[in-house]
Structure 1
Amino acid sequence: MPRFQPFRPLKRLLPRDIMARSLLIIVIPLVLLQIITAYVFFDRHWEIVSRRLNTAVASEIGLIARLIYTYPGEETREWAFSVARITQGLVFRFSPGGQLPSIPAQRSDPIERALRQRIGNYIPYPFTIDGRPGEGELTVHMQTPGGLLSVDVWKDRLFTESIFLFVFWMGGSSIVLFGVAAIFMRNQVRPLLRLARAADAFGKGREAPDLKVTGATEVRQAARAFIAMRDRIRRQIDQRTGMLAGVSHDLRTPLTRMKLQLAMLEGVEGVDDLRADVTEMERMVEAYLDFARGTGTETAGPTDLGAVLEDVVDRHRRAGGTIFLTVAQPITLPLKRQAFERCIGNLLGNAIRHGDTVTVQVLLIDDHVEIFVDDDGPGIAPADREAVFKPFQRLETSRNLKTGGMGLGMTIARDLVRGMGGDIALLESPQGGLRVKLQLPL
């Protein structure tokens, strides 16, 4: 029974590269801290400062309103209005017989809403507030027994700009911290990317530039381990290549002497059988050496894929094979040319041996190339397709090399393709026989 994973949909939304994930580890706590700080500070700061400012303005308005109510008279009213304008910045107006205007409350204006909550405690008259959206002042209208009393209040007196200053510094510091974190993480991730590119190039059999050991201690340790592994593999390849060169020379020399001696024994009974045995031994030695040699020390270089395939196909056509080649478009990719020609040659040889018509098709798909080799032969059963890649594994049960070969062709082909970073697979061909699918990276 599969385990329930509640966070699996969330994982799909997360970035996959290490730099983005590292930045998220830094940014998410920073953003949460900013949100909590802003909520707590703004809520308390706005409430306290707004209450004090609006209480002060409301009390000043209430003081003038009660003063002219207690001491009626035009001279007292003008004197009170003058004092309020000079000392408090409040501009009062009185309209005898005026009526309170009908102005709907602006619920979305926090300044008007805060003043409305406070002013009712300080004036004994019905009132309304004209917030004047987009302007720098608002007007409070009060219905007194003698008429309409209005006062203009600058909105700057009702709130503080320190909140916006705090928001600016908080946002600015967050951006600066995020930039510093991004630069730091990029410098930490860059050695990992270089290591990944070097490992990828080495795995594809391509020459990679020398890897510079930089970064954190763990990254340096991984880079040194990779360099040591690469050097050991190269030494092993060099040693094997040198050994094979010696084996090839040591085996071919006695075979050459045997062929010369057989040439001097023309007409002797049994010479033809011995000559056939020597030829078979040469083929066996070459097959063994090809299998052990693998991709050798050949380096990959930019290669015209269509031109290489045309050369190999032409050679097999001259040998009597019926082969059709289709290349969708010109393709240039890093290849070990000799290894690739040997691989395609093995595949075409098998296809011609078991079928009458062979089709080679090349397709460019995203970041890789796919090559299909189809024949109209008997094909291979799905259960036996993996077995043909094993060394010396022959589906043809006889020991006749002309019909079954050495059982190394497909093994060498897969070894060569994987040495260039690709892969090979066996499928059912549309022609009824076997389809060999090669995939090579660009």
Structure 2
Amino acid sequence: MVIGEPSSLQRRLIVGAAVGSMLALAGASMAIGVVLHWFVRGQLDGRLDDRIMALVSEVHEAPGGGLALRHDREVPPLDRLGSGWYWQVRRGGAVLRSASLGDARLAIPAGPAEAEGPAPADGIGPHGDGLILRVLRAPGRPGEPETVVIASAPKTALYGPIFEVLCHVGLAIALIGLGLVGGVLVQVRVGLRPLRRLLEQLGDVRAGVCERVPAEQPLEVRPLVGEINALLEQNAANLAHARGHVANLAHGLKTPLATLALAFDERGESRDARLAGLVEGMDRRVRHHLRRARAAAVSGPGRDRVELAGVVDDVVMVLRRLSADKGISLITDVPAGLSVACERQDAEEMLGNLVENACRWCAGRVRVSARREDSSIVVRVEDDGAGLTREEAAAVLQRGRRLDESQPGHGFGLPITLEVAELYGGSLDLDRSSLGGLSVRLALPS
């Protein structure tokens, strides 16, 4: 394995199971070969032993001397010269042999002087071919030589059938091996399916579809799911604790700052403009960090979801009242059922900033629409005002920059909306509207 290459659990399981199966099949093949050898050799030895015992019962001394058989009839393959199927009987100097030997003789292997039955003694035949020999040494009566009876079979009679059977067995084992490998592939994929499902469930937690990983898991995965859920709960608690501290600090500063601002307003022209500006700047920073504390929730588990149509209706209703004296026509086109993965307070603030900005700069018409695009919900807020050039569009997205200093506000609306949208994995873009003014495109995850 290459150093640094990520290991694959699926690959390890498949390779391990495949190697184990192949080793088991190889061992089974060897065992089958051994059993076949033992079985075929036993059959051959039995056949040769039967021939030897038949020769012992049929051989006798011929009237003119020498040895002879009572029934001198050879059967195949003992009648074929050089077939390897031989027999030979020797008693003293007299030798009687099968027709397949011709004029040749079988060398008598060394062995015990006496034996209860035929004994194995493999050797080489007269034509240099390997033979399977069975030898019986029968002692003669007192004063008579022993009788040595030999029967043989060619080694091809042993290994030929074994090889033929092993070819078929090997093919069957190869097919079994392929089936086992296929079964291992299916088993591993099915066995690892809970891990893939767990990955999808973690993605749902990250996307805010659910707050915790479902506890209904296979027994082996439950401890892991329990630890993941415990970690999610701990992170959520830590996040809530940190957000609470930030909110408490910001709220603790807001009241003194509001009191100072009111005191400066009451002093009228005699107020210190520099100190009033500092108080105003501090108030902006407190509000800004309050927004960031809320938006930081997106990094925690269990992100909220809010239906967009309700938020747009609430924002438009408020701004219609605030801009009633301007006679602005506010048009909404937001289908029901569109939800965004963010907190309702953040959605209200982002849309409130955009719609309020459009009402401030429009000539009389503002349109709010929303559509689903892939995995995002895209909200467009358009007006029929003068619009912005590319340079102006880039400038208004910088915190604290205002193109018209005569208008109320601090220039934090669009930049903060952009920052909160990016924290949720969204985006904010400025373009020219078909109404003639500015078009703000806000994309949020669905």
- TM-score, structure 1 as length reference: 0.51
SS in 1 for 2:372: strand
CA-to-partner distance for each residue in 1:88-107, whole Å, 9 max, x for gaps?
xxxxxxxxxxxxxxxxxxxx
Partner of 1:330: 337
Tell me, which stretches of 5 or more residues in structure 1 are unaligned? 1-17, 39-79, 81-157, 263-269
Aligned to 2:252: 246
Asked if residue 391 in structure 1 is aligned to residue 399 in structure 2, the reply is yes
Q: Using a 3 Å threshold, how does the CA distance of structure 1 residues 258 and 23 change in structure 2: closer, same or farther?
A: same
Which residue number in structure 2 is paired with residue 74 of structure 1? none
CA distance in 2, matches of 1:394, 1:424: 18
Shift of 1:200: 4.2
Matched residue, 1:314: 317
Tell me how far 1:34 sits from its aligned partner: 10
Taking the aligned partners of 1:223 and 1:330, their CA distance within structure 2 comes to 29
Structure 2's unaligned 5+ residue stretches are: 1-5, 26-75, 77-163, 298-302
Point out the structure with max Rg over C-alpha.
2
Is the 1:370–1:440 Cα contact (8 Å) retained in structure 2? yes
- Do the aligned partners of 1:362 and 1:370 also contact (CA within 8 Å) in 2? yes
Query: Per the alignment, do residues 389 and 28 of structure 1 end up closer, same or farther by CA in structure 2, a change over 3 Å counting?
Result: farther
* Deviations, residues 161-205 of structure 1 (Å, cap 9, x unaligned): 53553244213321342244335644655665555544444xxxx
For the structure 1 residues 195 and 334, does the alpha-carbon distance in structure 2 shift closer, same or farther, using more than 3 Å as the test?
A: closer
Q: CA deviation at 1:426?
A: 1.7
- 1:346 has 2:353 as partner: yes
Alpha-carbon separation, structure 2, partners of 1:234 and 1:423: 25
As a proportion of its length, which structure holds more helix? 1
- Could you give the per-residue CA deviations for residues 102-159 of structure 1, whole angstroms, max 9, x where no partner exists? xxxxxxxxxxxxxxxxxxxxxxxxxxxxxxxxxxxxxxxxxxxxxxxxxxxxxxxx98
Whole-angstrom distance in 1 between the partners of 2:276 and 2:210: 38
Alignment of 1:41-440 (within 5 A): 161-163=168-170, 165-182=172-189, 185-186=192-193, 193=200, 195-201=202-208, 208-209=211-212, 234-256=240-262, 287-294=284-291, 296-297=293-294, 301-318=304-321, 319=323, 320=326, 321-356=328-363, 357-396=365-404, 398=405, 400-402=406-408, 405-440=409-444
- Which residue type is aligned with residue 438 of structure 1? L
The offset of 1:371, in angstroms, is 0.7
Deviates more, 1:274-283 or 1:316-325: 274-283
Amino acid at match of 1:407: G
- Equivalent pair of 1:340/1:417 in contact (CA under 8 Å): no
CA distance in 2, matches of 1:322, 1:184: 60
Per the alignment, residue 138 of structure 1 pairs with: none
State how many pairs are aligned. Answer: 296
> What is the CA RMSD across the aligned residues, in angstroms?
5.2
Residues 227 and 311 of structure 1, relative CA distance in 2, 3 Å threshold = closer
Q: Is the 8 A contact 1:323 1:358 kept in 2?
A: yes
- The alpha-carbon distance between structure 1 residues 394 and 221, as it changes in their structure 2 partners (threshold 3 A), is farther
CA separation in 1, counterparts of 2:245 and 2:329?
41
Deviation per residue, 1:291-337 (Å, 9 max, x gap): 22125448754433112212211222221332211124432444422
CA distance change for structure 1 residues 376 and 24 in 2, over 3 Å: closer, same or farther? farther
Aligned equivalents of 2:239, 2:184: Cα separation in 1:
44
Shift of 1:436: 0.9
Q: Matches of 2:337 and 2:236 in 1, distance apart?
A: 33
Whole-angstrom distance in 2 between the partners of 1:244 and 1:176? 63
* Aligned 8 A contact 2:426 2:443 in 1: yes
Secondary structure of the structure 2 residue equivalent to 1:363: strand
Contact kept in structure 2, 1:340 and 1:416, CA below 8 Å: no
User: Shift of the alpha carbon at 1:240?
Assistant: 1.8
TM-fit CA distance, 1:207 = 7.5
SS at match of 2:333: strand
